[in-house]
Amino acid sequence: MPNEKMQEMEEVSKELLKVLAAGGAGNLLKRSLDKQEKMFDKLLDTQLTTQQLVKDLMAAEEKVAQKLLAGEEELQSRLQKVQAMEEALQRASVDDASLRADTSALRRELEEMRAELRRLEEVEDDGDAVSSAVYVAQLYYKISRIDWDYECKHSQIKGIHHGPAIAQPINLDGSQHSKCFVSDYLWSLVDTAW
């Protein structure tokens, strides 16, 4: 389009030159045409420079647009990573709180179990002593066959000996007899035939 206009102007210029050459203002017209030709040359140079600048500007815009797109993609990628990290942190916080609660509950349960174990050990110690005493008393009864009267006075020795034939009461005053006599007497009641 600019070339067509230029050609039209050039043709008009040539026609004007012919008309003026026929008259007397040839030099003036020649100078005017020279100036006009220089203006056209400058216009062409300006157009070429402008076209090059537009091309350079478009290339620069394209590079900037590409960099901007790459920057936006990287920004989105980093935002997604940050969001994922925040979600992981939130899950970890919830898990941490849950673990702390579980740990506290487990500690309480452990303390309760330790207290229960101590109580059971104390009861077992008492139970061992009681069961041990019961065992010994049962063993003594199987050997001696004597039911002791535990409600009598401290110095009295009372009970019933269940001998092979009949039951025989025992009533000894420990303060009047020696321990050796009491022991011998009680052993004499034990049946030696097994």
Question: Within this chain, do residues 115 and 93 fall inside the same structural domain, yes or no?
Answer: yes
Report pLDDT digits (tens) over 84-134. Answer: 999 999 998 888 888 888 788 878 877 887 788 787 777 666 555 556 767
pTM for the whole structure: 0.34
d(CA 101, CA 93): 12
d(CA 138, CA 140): 5
Instruction: Say how many C-beta atoms besides its own lie within 10 A of residue 29's C-beta.
Output: 18
Question: Within this chain, do residues 155 and 136 fall inside the same structural domain, yes or no?
Answer: no
Structural domain including 181 reads 145-194
Burial grade of 24 (CB within 10 A; 0-12, 13-18, 19 or more): exposed
Beta strands across the sheet bearing 146-148: 146-148, 156-162, 167-173
Which run of H or E residues covers position 147? strand 146-148
Question: Within this chain, do residues 138 and 90 fall inside the same structural domain, yes or no?
Answer: yes
CA neighbor of 10 nearest in space, from 49, 54, 41, 31: 41
Tokens 């050796």 found at: 180
Report pLDDT digits (tens) over 7-45. Answer: 888 887 777 767 666 665 556 667 777 888 888 888 888
Mean pLDDT of the chain: 81
Question: Within this chain, do residues 120 and 170 fall inside the same structural domain, yes or no?
Answer: no
Residue 50 domain-assigned (yes or no): no
Residue 21 domain-assigned (yes or no): no
